[in-house]
Amino acid sequence: MFSKNIFSGKSNMNCRILFIALIVVSLFASLAIAQDSTNSDSNVFGGYEVRSGLEVGVRGIDIDGSLSKFRSDLNYRNGVRLFDSSFSMKNTTGHRRFIDQLTVNASGWGADRTGYASVNAESAGLYRFTGNIRRVAYFSDLNNHALGQHDFNTNRDLGDFDLSVFPIADKLRLNFGASFDLSKGPGTWNARAYRDDFVVRANNKTNSYDFRIGAEAKVLGFNLGITQGYRRFRERSQYILDAPTIGNNTTDTTQYFTFIRQFPITGTSYFTAFNAQRTFAKRVDFTARIIYSDTKTTSSILEEITGRDNNNNWVDLDRFEISGDASRPQARGDLGLTVNVTDNFRISNTFSFDRFGIDGGEYLFEQLYRRNASGTTLTPSLTRSAAYRVTDYLRYVNTIEADWQVRNWVGLHIGYRYTHRKVDIEGYNQTLTSSNPTPSLIAEEEKNSTNTIIAGMKIKPMKNWAIFWDLEHGDADNVFTAVENYKFTNFRIRSRWSFDKFVLNLSGISKDNTNPTGSSTGTIDFAVNSKSRIYSGSLDWNPDPRFWLTTGYTYTHMTSLAAIVVNSPARQGISQYFVRDHSFFIDASARANKRVSFYGSYRINKDRGQGDIPLTDPYYVLIGNTSVSLTRPQDIISSYPMTFQSPEFRVAFRITRNIDWNIGYQYFDYKEKYQTIQDYKAHLPYTSLKFYFGNTDR
C-alpha cells in the first residue's frame, strides 16, 4: 500500500492509479506507433547530423517503516521522472560554422534526489563552451543523532560554466568562467542556555558566486597561463523559536518564551594563479605554479532570549551582539622538475610551500535583564569583551621520487617526503566591563617536522596478469592542534588477471594510524589508535555481446581505540569503535532477442559491528603496556551493526526502431541490530518510455 507517499502526500489509490495509468498509456502509445518501417529516415537537417534520446517515466514508492530514515538515506520520491535525455548535432558541411558540435544531456530531474544537465558546444578553432548544472535534494532526519533534533530539508543548486576562445591556438587562448553554489531550505537545530537545550526552527540559506578570466600562451618554448578570479560568499540563515518550550530537561525551571538568532556572514576572495611548463631536450620537464589569494569576511550574531533560567529567575531579555571581521592573505607555490636519466630511469622532485596569515578580531556585548521568582528586578548584567588574533603559518614540503623500469615485466618506485611547519600566534583577550580591564596577551610559537617513505612496484608475471603495490610510512602533522604527529602506515596491493572472457581483480588496503600523546588525567596514555583493513575482489564475465555479468565482494575491518575523559567528576575512560562490514554485489544483463533484454542486480551490506563482544561483561584492551578492563561506567564500546540490501530487476522491450519501453522494480531493506525504530522496507516500481531519433546504429 502507498500510505506513506513522500512526494505529494496523496493516497495509496492515487499512486496506484498513476502507476497503472502510465503502463496502460505506454502500451497504447507503443502499439499506436509500432510501425517498424524498413525505410530509414534521414537524420541530417540543415547540414547537421542530429541524434537524440528521451526517456521519461514514473516511479511509485511504498514504504513500510521509517520514512525519515529512508529519505535520509535515499530521498527518492514518487511521480514523473526524467530518466535520461540526450541531444547532439554535428556539422557535416565541411565548413566551419558558429556551432560545429552541440551536445545536451540531462538526467534525474523530477523524482530523483539528484539531477544534472550539461551543455557542450564548440566551433572548431574558435571557441569551446561547457556548462553543468546540478541539483541535490538533501534530507536528514535521524533519531540517533542529537536526539533527532538536527534535521535538514534543503535544495542545493550548483553550476559551472567555462568558455575557451581559440582553444587550440598556441599563441593565445582566452578562458572565461563562472560558478554558483546555492543552498536553501528549512530544518531544526538546538540552542543552549541556562544548562539546557532547546529545539528551534532553522531557515538555512547560503550562496556563493565565482568568476574567472584567464589566458594561456606559448612564449619562448614555455607554456604559460594566468587566471584571475573573484568569489563572493553569503550566509543568511536564521534560527527562530515557534512557541514557548521547556527544553529537553523537563526537571528544571529553564524555559524559552521567545528566541531568535541571526547569523549573517559576508565574504569575498580574490585570487591570481600563474603556471608555467616546458620540456627541455625531451629529457627534462619543468613545471611551476603560484597562487595568491586574499579573503576577507565580516560576520555578526544577534541573539535575543526571553524566558526563565535554571535559578528560577525571569529572563526579560538576554541579548547578544557579536561582530567580527578577518582577513586571510595566502601564497601557495609548487615547483616540479623531472629528469629522464635514461629511457628506463626517471627522477622527479616537487617542492611546495604554503604561507598564509589570519588577522581578525571580535567584539561582544551582552545585556541581561532579570527578575527573581517573586518578581523583584535584579541588577542588570552588562558584559563587553574583545579579542584579537594574528596567525602566521608557513609550511613547505619536498618530495623526491625515482622510477626505474627494471625489465619489461617489473618496475620500481621509491621516494621520500619531508615537511616542515611553523606557526606563530599573537593576540589578546579583554573583558572591558571587568574590574581589571587590562588585556591578557597571547604569544605562541610552534614548529614541527615530519618524514615519510614512499615505495611501490608493478610486476607482470604473465602477459595477462599484473600486480601493483604501494606503501607510505611516516608522520603526518596536526595543524593548529597541540598533539603529537600521527604515526601512519598505508599499504595497498592490487592484482588484475584476464583470461579469455574473464577479468579477475583482487585488492587489499591496510591503514594503521596512531596519535600518541600524554595526559595529566589518569595513569595511561591519552592516545588514539586506528587500524583498518579492506579486502576486495571482483569478477567480470562477458562471453558474448548479448550477455555480461559482474560480481564482487568487499570486507572492511576497522577498530579504533581512544582514551577519553568523562566529566563530573573527571575520569579516565576508553572508547572503542568497531566496523565489520561485508559488502556483496552482482549485476547481469542479457538480451534474449532483438526486442527483449533483461537487467538484474543485487547488493547487500552487512556490518556485524562489535559482534559477540559484550557491553557489560569483562573485556580487556591493551593501552601501551597497560591492560585495562572495559567494565567501568566511563568506558564505551560502540558500533553500528546493520543490514542494507537492494535487489533490482528491469525488462526493456524494443517496440519500434525508435521506441523502447522499460519496466522495472527496485527494493530496499534496511535493519539495525539494536533498535527497530529506523528500520524500513521500500518498494519502488517504475516504468518509462525511451524515444530515439537519428540512432541508425540501433
Taking residues 14-26, what's their average pLDDT? 45
Name the phi and psi angles at 376, rounded to 5. -75, 130
Residue 228 in any domain: the answer is yes
Query: How high is the pLDDT of residue 40?
Result: 44
What pLDDT, in 10s, does the model give residues 141-191? 988 888 888 899 999 999 999 999 999 888 899 999 999 999 999 999 988
pLDDT greater than 50 at residue 16: no
Residue 160 in any domain: the answer is no
In this structure, the answer to whether residues 203 and 316 fall within a common structural domain is yes
| 127 contacts 157 by C-beta, under 8 angstroms | no
Query: How high is the pLDDT of residue 110?
Result: 80
Residue 267 bridge partners (DSSP): 233, 297
pLDDT greater than 50 at residue 35: no
Taking residues 267-295, what's their average pLDDT? 96
Residue 212 in any domain: the answer is yes
Q: Which helix (H) or strand (E) holds 167?
A: none
Q: How far is CA 439 from CA 382, 385, 434, 436, in A?
A: 18, 10, 11, 9
Query: How high is the pLDDT of residue 2?
Result: 37
Measure the CA–CA gap between 122 and 132, rounded to whole angstroms.
Answer: 15
Q: Percentage of the chain with pLDDT > 90?
A: 68
Boundary of a domain, candidates 647, 670, 692? 647
What pLDDT, in 10s, does the model give residues 98-151? 999 999 999 988 878 999 999 999 998 899 999 999 999 999 998 888 888 889
pLDDT greater than 70 at residue 19: no
Query: How high is the pLDDT of residue 145?
Result: 80
In this structure, the answer to whether residues 398 and 491 fall within a common structural domain is no
In this structure, the answer to whether residues 505 and 474 fall within a common structural domain is no
Boundary of a domain, candidates 482, 501, 523? 482
Residue 283 in any domain: the answer is yes
For 134-145, letters b (16+ CB in 10 Å) and e give bbebbbbbeeee
What pLDDT, in 10s, does the model give residues 337-392? 999 999 999 999 999 999 999 999 999 999 999 999 999 999 999 999 999 999 99
CA neighbours closer than 13 Å in the CB half-sphere of residue 96:
6
* Residue 102: closest CA among 135, 133, 127: 127
Give the residue, 45 or 28, on which the prediction is more confident.
45
pLDDT greater than 90 at residue 266: yes
Residue 343 in any domain: the answer is yes
Residue 620 bridge partners (DSSP): 629
Query: How high is the pLDDT of residue 25?
Result: 43
Residue 393 in any domain: the answer is yes
What pLDDT, in 10s, does the model give residues 209-236? 999 999 999 999 999 999 999 999 999 9
Number of structural domains the chain divides into? 2
- The counts of H helices and E strands in the chain are 2, 33
In this structure, the answer to whether residues 518 and 613 fall within a common structural domain is yes
Measure the CA–CA gap between 458 and 311, rounded to whole angstroms.
Answer: 70
Q: How far is CA 25 from CA 21, 655, 690, in A?
A: 6, 14, 14
Cis-peptide, bond into residue 569, ω within 30° of zero: yes
Tell me the whole-structure pTM to 2 decimals. 0.84
In this structure, the answer to whether residues 226 and 280 fall within a common structural domain is yes
Residue 433 in any domain: the answer is yes
Least-confidence region, from 123-127, 451-455, 483-487, 680-684: 483-487
Q: State the pLDDT confidence band at 621, using cuts at 50, 70 and 90.
A: low
In this structure, the answer to whether residues 192 and 317 fall within a common structural domain is yes
In this structure, the answer to whether residues 440 and 560 fall within a common structural domain is no
Range of the domain at 249: 186-482
The answer to whether the Cα torsion of 690, 693, 697, 698 is positive or negative is positive
Residue 342 in any domain: the answer is yes
In this structure, the answer to whether residues 466 and 523 fall within a common structural domain is no
In the numeric block, the cell 541490530 is attached to 673
Boundary of a domain, candidates 626, 647, 668? 647
In this structure, the answer to whether residues 523 and 461 fall within a common structural domain is no
In this structure, the answer to whether residues 420 and 329 fall within a common structural domain is yes
Q: Which helix (H) or strand (E) holds 143?
A: none
Q: State the pLDDT confidence band at 251, using cuts at 50, 70 and 90.
A: confident
In this structure, the answer to whether residues 463 and 496 fall within a common structural domain is no
In this structure, the answer to whether residues 412 and 333 fall within a common structural domain is yes
